[in-house]
Structure 1
Amino acid sequence: MEKVRQKPESRCGCKAQIKFKRVPNLSCYKIYVWDTHHNHDIHPPEQVHFLNHEVNPFQAALVERHAEVGIPIRQSYQLFSRVVGGDENVGFRPIDLKNHLSSKRQLRLQHGEGTSLLEFFRDESIKKPNYYYSVQVDSDEEISSIFWADGIMRSDYAAFGDVLCFDTTFRTNHLYRPLGCFVGFNHHRQMCVFGCALLFDETADTFSWMFNTFFECMSGKHPISLMTDQCASIRSAVRNVVPSSVFHGLCSWHISENAKKKLGSYANSKFMEELHFLIEDVDSPAEFEFNWDKMVKKCFHGKDVDQITWLTFIKGYKEQWSSAWVKEYFTAGLKSTQLSECFNSLVRKYVKYGSTLTQFFEGFNSMIRRLRAIEVESNFSAIQFLPKNHFPHSSIMQHAAKVYTPLIFAKIHLEFEVISSYFFQPVLSEDEGSLKTFSVFELLNPEDHTSRVDERIVTVDLREIKLSCTCRMFTNWGFFCRHIFKIMEMFASSGNNPRLRTIPDEFILKRWTRLAKGGFDLYADLPPITAHVPTYEESYQQLCLYVNQIAIRVCMFEEPYQVFVKDLIEARKRAETSIQSLGPVKSKRPLDSLAIGVKAASNKKRGRKRFKALTEKRRYKKRASRKKKLYITNAQLSNVASELEFSSSASSGTKHCFLYWLNYCTHFT
């Protein structure tokens, strides 16, 4: 039997009251009841603000925005208190904010979570151009899986969809749905989200539906490389849906961690070193087989490794994780699903476990806005600041600094700065013509040419201006290696071939350049002119933007401030008159539900987090003693800063002006 919470009684039948009425034809009121006899103790002045408390529409809208970005109610209340000068001036208590958010959630779910979810997606598709979503409904008309991607995600995939990473680690709420995320790298090599799916389960059929829906959303474009973990269901779906021309790579990090779990004491430092060499540094299948046999003899002391199931399994998929094969494909340097792990960590900052699906999507959108703000900031820095170039006299590096984004140029710079320690030697062959071949190497001992390390063969076609290196860095990363730069610098300094004084255009991947997304739109920040009638929230946000900009400006000057306040008061009076002439206005949108609910997932026994080996737990346990993070993160503060543009030390004039326009926005949106 559910326990009933006992609520203290606050009603005591007190008869104290005052009543008054307006006197006709006179500008005054007449008191006709006056009873000051109370049957209870009188509250002192410092407690009066607890008696009458109400959250006004502006405060309600603002706390809803705070909740969307993950700011707790207590911190929201503290922000309000700081703005108005103390708790006694706020006009409500923290419990009132909690009750408001709870009522808001109940109102959204009054027609069922399935209908609320479809309403959310319908609104998103109206507000955002090229918004795409697909809902999988079962025979009982319950939503089982959902996929969505907005227009920017789709355009990002068109520009950066050559490398795709997929993972399903994150769990959303009490329905225990796995969140499938498609992520990749943008031109700054930052995380870029292409699309997401809330899945019913993790079966091959569900993953097949998701991959088919994703590629349909992206107009049938497939990546060059797809990175996933070792989940059997994902591998099966990839085989059934993704073309064989797409390289399917397995996460190298998971392979290393699984080795520690599966091999026990055999997975010592010696074994992990050998395994890492097989993952990162072998260049050919023959070299892989040689070093695999070497590892078995060195670490297993002649034991029949065919009896070790995991070793047999992982060797069977060697083409999907060893550098001997991975280097043949463009992966942008991505060797694991750690990009997805970072994405899941970021989601947890914006979405609380146990939230409703509509709350999840609101928090998710806040996270996406933050990621895009980071990209915009990187674009600004790329224009505002010149990258550090230690070789200003090199025409190759001058060209690279102008073309590539700063982070990619920094990686190219690291390759170029070591070429002084490398040597080259022509490889003679008959009837070469315009085709030249060089051996490029580093010497451990400059006086001993037999002490060569990192020796590679660079081939140059001087007629067609084609360059290649056996290290395959350009194939795998998308920019030249130190070996090619060594030969290019030799030709550039000799002046024999001026076409090699800069990086040839056909070897510049647009996805790493400053113009990877085709430049930028000067008018992208202006709101579109449409016939769409704005909602209350949209009108409020637009009015806040306009008034906030002028308020920040005029508060710096006394006379403009007085003029602005006077005009604002007059504008309020005119708006009040206009509102009263309209009378009561009510508007409701029709609901066109296609689903009666959201289907509960069946795999509830699975843990909320990815299983971690004992070694990984020990590694992360050391971080427990670190300083606790602040209640409000930088991402959350950036959203608050867009609402509150002044600090606690701002002048009284600034605060008064701020309160004026807040009141104005509250009444006329």
Structure 2
Amino acid sequence: MQHDYDCFGDVLAFDSTYRKNLYNRPLVIISGTNHHRQTIIFGFGLLEDEKIPSYKWLLRSFLDVMRQKEPMVVVTDGDKSMKKAIRSEFPNATHRPCSWHLAWNVVSNIKDANFCSAFKTAVYGNFVVEEFENYWAEMVESFGLENNDWIEKTYEKRAQWANAYLCDKFCARVRTTLRCEGINSSLKKFIRSGNCLLELVENLDRVVKDYQNNEFMADFKCLYSEPVMTTGLESIEKAVSKVYTREIFFEVKKQIESVAALLVLHHETYGTIQKFMLRKFRRPLRVYTILYNSSSKNYECSCKLWNSLGVPCSHIFCAMKELEIEALPRRLVLRRSCKDAKTLEKVGAVPMADPEKAFRERYGSMWSACMSMCYIAA
């Protein structure tokens, strides 16, 4: 689990459940996603209560176990104690409230199906900040909710839930705590409410092994099967298929297929920088700008899909087609999305000037290697 966190611990989801143990105490589940877009468990915490000191103790203990590596994004439900603890122990992390709980609050407070649909567009829409502000003002005015207290409080927190403000934050598609809810349902197969502490820990270990087995199965399919090439950009598609796991590849493939609907409006060169301006077929109002640096092999797109989801967008693939480039630059490939995401080789060497860090790296690598050896032997 330490090795899993080392590879995929940039985005976490927290949730708690009751009545899973003899003591009727909250059991906190800490989870994320792996390179197959599967749920992966980083840890559990059995707490005395759901107050701020308990959550702070949990997060400090979690950091100690995971060698002080902080996550970049943390997704939770609306628990205020957990939110304050995260702000204290993970000061550099972006806290996102669960989108599902947010939608449920809309249903509870507004009770208008049309508004719920409009609000969902505000949460997930690909707006820039100015477009979001205009859309929100028009939406609130059209439904006559200018003086609604819940609307005002939700708007004040827009930087935590609106995609327009979070498009630069990588979230690995973790926007809700529903994965934790899925773990809750899995717990029922392994855990009984009468379990004592020892039985609880043993059964939680079985839950983790069950999820790890799902990953082993996905690894097997990924290593010993080849996807069928179906797009017109076959050389690019084939290059992508060699890098990504099957689940990520199919996401990227959709972006490659979308190149057919793009029109190049403008292309110019400034030294090593090439600029492309694109729009979608029959959508003249939204223009996307792509910058390509030929010296660093780096791409930047105004849609910021790569920043938030970690996969290249259709606009970048369109620029690659125009430049007749087949290989995907390594800068656009997140290691957590690759087939070899969990290999022991690290990107970049450990500096010799830090012997303690070098020791931790060697210890972690040997520990992971022994786990793989034990699995093969078993």
TM-score by length of 2: 0.88
Indicate if the aligned counterparts of 1:442 and 1:453 stay in contact, CA closer than 8 A. no
Instruction: Note if 1:355 corresponds to 2:195.
Output: yes
Q: Return the match for 2:69 from 218, 221, 224.
A: 221
Structure 1, unaligned stretches of length 5 or more? 1-152, 445-450, 493-499, 528-544, 546-669
Q: Return the match for 1:482 from 310, 314, 323.
A: 314
Cα distance in 2 for partners of 1:393, 1:468 equals 21
Q: Return the match for 1:272 from 116, 126, 138.
A: 116
Instruction: Note if 1:255 corresponds to 2:255.
Output: no
Cα offset, 1:345, TM superposition: 1.6
Cα offset, 1:335, TM superposition: 1.3
Tell me which residue corresponds to 1:395.
235
Cα distance in 2 for partners of 1:409, 1:207 equals 37
SS in 1 for 2:143: helix
User: What per-residue deviation string (whole Å, max 9, x for no partner) do you get for residues 7-58 of structure 1?
Assistant: xxxxxxxxxxxxxxxxxxxxxxxxxxxxxxxxxxxxxxxxxxxxxxxxxxxx
User: What per-residue deviation string (whole Å, max 9, x for no partner) do you get for residues 59-83 of structure 1?
Assistant: xxxxxxxxxxxxxxxxxxxxxxxxx
Tell me which residue corresponds to 1:434.
272
Tell me which residue corresponds to 2:349.
none
Q: Return the match for 1:318 from 147, 158, 173.
A: 158
Indicate if the aligned counterparts of 1:283 and 1:471 stay in contact, CA closer than 8 A. no
Q: Give the 3 Å change call, closer, same or farther, for CA 287–359 of structure 1 in structure 2.
A: same
User: What per-residue deviation string (whole Å, max 9, x for no partner) do you get for residues 254-311 of structure 1?
Assistant: 1000111122xxx3222112111111014322222111111111112xx542xx3322
Cα distance in 2 for partners of 1:174, 1:298 equals 52
Cα distance in 1 for partners of 2:260, 2:183 equals 39
Tell me which residue corresponds to 2:326.
501
Cα distance in 2 for partners of 1:524, 1:359 equals 23
Cα distance in 1 for partners of 2:336, 2:177 equals 20
Tell me which residue corresponds to 1:455.
287
Tell me which residue corresponds to 2:375.
525
User: What per-residue deviation string (whole Å, max 9, x for no partner) do you get for residues 170-200 of structure 1?
Assistant: 4423422111111001111101111110111
Higher alpha-carbon deviation: 394-403 or 178-187: 394-403
Higher alpha-carbon deviation: 466-475 or 516-525: 516-525
Tell me which residue corresponds to 2:207.
367
Instruction: Note if 1:177 corresponds to 2:177.
Output: no
Cα offset, 1:388, TM superposition: 2.7
User: What per-residue deviation string (whole Å, max 9, x for no partner) do you get for residues 140-171 of structure 1?
Assistant: xxxxxxxxxxxxx1110001111111111344
Indicate if the aligned counterparts of 2:18 and 2:24 stay in contact, CA closer than 8 A. no
Indicate if the aligned counterparts of 1:282 and 1:322 stay in contact, CA closer than 8 A. no
| AA at the equivalent of 2:279 | F
Tell me which residue corresponds to 1:159.
7
- The correspondence of residues 121-136 of structure 1 with structure 2, limited to 5 A, is none
Structure 2, unaligned stretches of length 5 or more? 345-367
User: What per-residue deviation string (whole Å, max 9, x for no partner) do you get for residues 384-432 of structure 1?
Assistant: 111232138632211111111011001101111121121112155xx82
Cα distance in 1 for partners of 2:255, 2:16 equals 35
| AA at the equivalent of 1:478 | G
SS in 1 for 2:137: helix
Cα distance in 2 for partners of 1:355, 1:374 equals 25
Cα distance in 1 for partners of 2:217, 2:286 equals 38
Count of residue pairs brought into register by the alignment: 353
SS in 1 for 2:242: helix
Q: Give the 3 Å change call, closer, same or farther, for CA 422–453 of structure 1 in structure 2.
A: farther
Tell me which residue corresponds to 1:75.
none
Cα distance in 2 for partners of 1:282, 1:506 equals 24
| AA at the equivalent of 2:250 | A
Cα distance in 1 for partners of 2:196, 2:44 equals 17
Tell me which residue corresponds to 1:106.
none
Cα distance in 2 for partners of 1:214, 1:415 equals 37
Cα distance in 1 for partners of 2:252, 2:327 equals 13
| AA at the equivalent of 1:515 | D
Cα distance in 2 for partners of 1:282, 1:383 equals 35
Cα distance in 1 for partners of 2:265, 2:232 equals 27
Indicate if the aligned counterparts of 1:178 and 1:198 stay in contact, CA closer than 8 A. yes
Cα distance in 1 for partners of 2:18, 2:305 equals 33
| AA at the equivalent of 1:347 | L
User: What per-residue deviation string (whole Å, max 9, x for no partner) do you get for residues 570-599 of structure 1?
Assistant: xxxxxxxxxxxxxxxxxxxxxxxxxxxxxx
| AA at the equivalent of 2:273 | L
Instruction: Note if 1:205 corresponds to 2:53.
Output: yes
Q: Give the 3 Å change call, closer, same or farther, for CA 339–323 of structure 1 in structure 2.
A: same
| AA at the equivalent of 2:41 | V
Indicate if the aligned counterparts of 1:163 and 1:223 stay in contact, CA closer than 8 A. yes
TM-score by length of 1: 0.51
Aligned Cα RMSD in Å? Answer: 2.0
Cα distance in 2 for partners of 1:387, 1:524 equals 31
Tell me which residue corresponds to 1:383.
223
Tell me which residue corresponds to 1:34.
none
Indicate if the aligned counterparts of 2:100 and 2:176 stay in contact, CA closer than 8 A. yes
Cα distance in 2 for partners of 1:346, 1:452 equals 48
Indicate if the aligned counterparts of 1:163 and 1:224 stay in contact, CA closer than 8 A. yes
Instruction: Note if 1:338 corresponds to 2:178.
Output: yes
Percent identical pairs in the alignment equals 26
Instruction: Note if 1:189 corresponds to 2:37.
Output: yes
Q: Return the match for 2:136 from 287, 292, 308.
A: 292
Cα distance in 2 for partners of 1:523, 1:281 equals 46
Cα distance in 2 for partners of 1:284, 1:393 equals 30
SS in 1 for 2:229: coil
Cα offset, 1:454, TM superposition: 5.1
Indicate if the aligned counterparts of 1:424 and 1:440 stay in contact, CA closer than 8 A. yes
SS in 2 for 1:457: strand
Query: Which structure has the bigger radius of gyration?
Result: 1
Tell me which residue corresponds to 2:83.
235
| AA at the equivalent of 1:371 | Y
Q: Return the match for 1:516 from 322, 337, 341.
A: 341
SS in 2 for 1:514: coil
| AA at the equivalent of 1:184 | G
Indicate if the aligned counterparts of 1:389 and 1:413 stay in contact, CA closer than 8 A. no
Higher alpha-carbon deviation: 198-207 or 418-427: 418-427
Indicate if the aligned counterparts of 1:347 and 1:367 stay in contact, CA closer than 8 A. yes
Tell me which stretches of 4 or more aligned residues in structure 1 moved more than 4 Å: 519-522
Indicate if the aligned counterparts of 2:297 and 2:331 stay in contact, CA closer than 8 A. no
Cα distance in 2 for partners of 1:427, 1:250 equals 40
